[in-house]
Amino acid sequence: MRIHEIESIPESLNDKENDIGEVDMKEKSAYSVKNFTLDNFEIGRPLGKGKFGNVYLAREKQSKYIVALKVLFKSQLVKANVQHQLRREIEIQSHLRHPNILRLYNYFYDDARIYLVLEFAGKGELYKELQRCRRFDEKRSATFMAQIASALQYCHAKK
């Protein structure tokens, strides 16, 4: 089962009602509508921390699908006046389909937080790999640069 596609972005991030996402049941023709809540996920270890919240390893209970769940605090977003940037990020990232860009599968929110359901990068972050290796050889660097260039080219073509 693959969580997939966001249909609309709320004008106000303070709305109490969840927006609708779709769930792909492996066959492209079999879609069902799903309103997610935090209860739909088993939350695992923290993957990272940011200015506006944290990212956790999570599993969607019904499908057992592994995702990264980014939890953003509305109060922090409002304090920094970046709600519009988050709305735009959701709008853009939800439509990107490229092998070198992590997918935003869905999002939902409650009174205090916004949850982004993201593709889990099982091999971790490029920066952490660079720290571990200290240096990439030319072949590996060229591979990463080609992947980054491909992703950027795709984004610019999407405008």
Q: Is 136 annotated as a binding residue?
A: no
Residue pair 7/68 in contact (Cβ under 8 Å)? The answer is no
CA distance 82 to 104: 19
Q: Cα–Cα distance between 145 and 141 in angstroms, integer?
A: 6
Is 108 annotated in a binding site? The answer is no
- Specify the DSSP class assigned to residue 154: H
Is 121 flagged in the annotation as binding?
Answer: yes
Residue 95 phi, psi (nearest 5): -100, 0
Tokens 């950027």 sit at which residue? 152
DSSP per-residue codes, 93-107: HTT---TTS--EEEE
The sign of the CA dihedral 122, 8, 23, 156 is negative
What single-letter amino acid sits at 114?
A: I
Question: Cβ(114)–Cβ(107) under 8 Å?
Answer: yes
Residue set of the binding site: 51, 70, 119-121
Residue set of the binding site for ATP: 51, 70, 119-121
